[in-house]
Chains A and B, each alone.
Chain A
Amino acid sequence: MEQEKVIEITNLTKMYGNHVGVKDLSLTVDKGEIMGFLGPNGAGKTTTIRSCLALLTKTAGEITIFGLDSHRDSVTIRKRTGYLPGDFGLIPSVKVRSYLKYLLSLHGSSSTKKMGSLAERLQLDLDRKTNELSKGNKLKVGIVQSLMTDEDLIIMDEPSGLDPLMQQEFYRILRQEQKQGKTIFMSSHNLAEVESICNRVAIIRKGQLIVVENIEVLQKKTGKVLEVEFNDPFKIDEFTFKGVSNIRQDNGRLILTIHENLDNVIKALSNHQILNMNLKTYSLEQLFLKYYAEGEVGEGGDA
Chain B
Amino acid sequence: MMFGRVAFMELRTGWKGLLIFGLLVVVISAGIPLIFPTYRNSLIEELEGASKVHLELPNEQGDMIILSWETVEPATSYMVLEDNRPSMVTPNIRYLGNETSIAFEKDFEEKRYYAVMAVLDQTSDPVLIGIAATEKGVDPFQELLKNPAYAGLTGGRNFSMLEVKGFVALEYYSWSWMLTGLFIAYLSVSLIASDFENKRMDVMFSAPISRRRYILEKFTAMNLIALFIVLVQIAGLIWGLASINALNEFSANAVLLSLIGSLPFLMVIAAVGITTAVLFQKVRTGMGITFAFVFAEFFLYTFGGFSKSLEWMKTISIFKYWDYFSVIIDDLFKVGDFLILTVMAIVLVITVIRVFQKKDIPT
> Do these two chains interact?
yes
**Bound form: Cα–Cα A196–B223 in Å:** 52
Nearest to B203 among chain A residues (CB) is A88
Contact A103 B360 (CB under 8 A): no
| Identity of the chain A residue whose Cβ is nearest the Cβ of B201 in the assembled complex | A55
Task: Tell yes or no: B38 within 8 A of A by CB.
Answer: no
Q: Is A85 an interface residue (CB 8 A)?
A: yes
Cα distance, A108 to B209, chains bound together (Å) = 10
Q: C-beta contact mask, A66-103 vs B, less than 8 Å → 1, else 0?
A: 00000000111011011101111111111000000011
Q: Does the CB pair B199–A91 fall under 8 Å?
A: no
In the docked arrangement, what's the CA distance between A76 and B209, Å? 9
Asked if A89 meets B207 with Cβ closer than 8 Å, knowing A105-B5, A106-B1, A106-B6, the reply is no
- C-alpha spacing A74/B211, complex, angstroms: 10
Contacts of A103 in B (CB 8 A): 203, 207
* Inter-subunit contact B208/A76 (CB<8 Å): yes
How would residues 55 to 70 of chain A score, 1 for a CB under 8 Å from any chain B CB and 0 otherwise?
1110000000000000
The 8 A-B residue pairs whose C-beta atoms are closest, nearest first, are A83-B206, A85-B202, A106-B207, A89-B198, A108-B1, A89-B199, A78-B208, A79-B208
Say whether A88 contacts B199, CB under 8 Å. Answer: yes
Q: A20 to B198: give the CA distance in the assembly, Å.
A: 25
B360 close to A107 (CB less than 8 A)? no
- In the complex, whether A46 has a CB less than 8 A from a CB of chain B is yes
Which residues of chain B from 180 to 220 have any CB-CB distance to chain A below 8 Å in the complex?
A: 198-210
How far is the CB of B225 from the nearest CB of chain A, in Å? 17
Secondary structure of the B contact surface, majority rule: loop
From B6, B13, B202, give the contact of A55 (CB < 8 A).
B202
Q: For window 26-75 of chain A, which residues contact chain B by CB distance below 8 Å?
A: 46, 50, 53-57, 74-75
**A145 on interface, CB distance cutoff 8 Å:** yes
For A145, what are the chain B residues with a Cβ–Cβ distance below 8 Å? Answer: 203
Residue from A90, A94, A107, A142 in contact with B1 in the complex, judged by beta carbons closer than 8 Å = A107
> Which of B199, B205, B210: most chain A Cβ within 10 A?
B205
Whether, in the assembled complex, B358 has its beta carbon less than 8 Å from a beta carbon of chain A, the answer is yes
B5 to A83, Cβ gap below 8 A?
no
CB within 8 Å for A90 and B207 given contacts A55-B361, A105-B5: no
Inter-chain contact B200/A93, CB cutoff 8 Å: no
Give the size range of A's interface with the partner. Answer: 20 to 34
Contact between chains at A94 and B13 (CB < 8 Å): yes
A-B contact pairs, 22 of them (CB 8 A): A50-B202, A53-B202, A53-B205, A55-B202, A57-B358, A57-B360, A78-B208, A78-B209, A81-B206, A82-B206, A85-B206, A88-B199, A88-B203, A89-B199, A91-B200, A92-B13, A93-B13, A103-B207, A106-B5, A106-B207, A108-B208, A145-B203
Interchain CB contact (< 8 A) of A102 among B5, B198, B208: B5
**Cβ A90 vs Cβ B200 within 8 A:** yes
- Which residue from chain A places its CB closest to the CB of B361 in the assembled complex? A55
A-contact 0/1 string along B288-305, CB 8 Å cutoff: 000000000000000000
| Residues of chain A lying within 8 A (CB to CB) of residue B210 | 74-75
Min CB gap A141→B, angstroms:
10
Give the residues in chain B near A91, CB-CB below 8 Å: 9, 13, 200
**Chain B interface extent, by class:** 20 to 34
Q: Contacts A56-B360, A103-B207, A108-B208 given; indicate if A83 touches B202 (C-beta within 8 A).
A: yes
- The residue among B202, B205, B361, B363 with the most chain A CB atoms within 10 A of its own CB is B202
Q: A105 — nearest CB in chain B belongs to which residue?
A: B5
Given contacts A78-B209, A88-B199, A146-B206, 12 further A-B contacts (CB under 8 A): A53-B202, A55-B202, A57-B359, A75-B208, A75-B209, A81-B206, A91-B9, A91-B13, A91-B200, A93-B13, A105-B5, A107-B1
Contact with A along B246-274 (1 / 0, CB 8 A): 00000000000000000000000000000
Nearest Cβ distance between residue B54 and chain A, in whole angstroms? 65
Interface pair A87/B363, CB less than 8 Å apart? yes
What is the CA–CA distance of A145 and B9 in the complex, to the nearest angstrom? 17
B358 neighbours in A (Cβ, 8 Å): 57
CB contacts (< 8 Å) of A106 on chain B: these are: 1, 5-6, 204, 207-209
B273 to chain A, nearest CB (A): 20
**Nearest Cβ on chain A to B326's Cβ, whole angstroms:** 43
Mask, B1-42, CB within 8 Å of A = 1, is 110011001001100000000000000000000000000000
Chain B residues closer than 8 Å to A88, beta-carbon distance = 199-200, 202-203
Closest chain-B Cβ to A129's Cβ sits at a distance in Å of: 12
What is the distance, in angstroms, from A94's C-beta to the closest C-beta of chain B?
Answer: 6
Bound Cα distance from A57 to B356, whole angstroms: 11
User: Within the assembled complex, what's the spacing in Å between the Cα atoms of A82 and B359?
Assistant: 22
Specify which chain A residues have a CB less than 8 angstroms from the CB of B13 in the assembled complex: 91-94
A83 surroundings in chain B (CB, below 8 A): 202-203, 206
In the bound complex, how far is the Cα of B200 from the Cα of A276, in angstroms? Answer: 48
Least Cβ–Cβ distance between A144 and chain B, in angstroms: 12
A90 — which chain B residues lie within 8 A by C-beta? 200
Would you give the shortest CB distance from B22 to chain A, in whole angstroms?
19
In the bound assembly, the distance between CA atoms of A250 and B204 in angstroms comes to 54
Q: Would you give the shortest CB distance from A65 to chain B, in whole angstroms? A: 13
Q: Mark A107-130, 1 if CB is under 8 A from B, else 0.
A: 110000000000000000000000
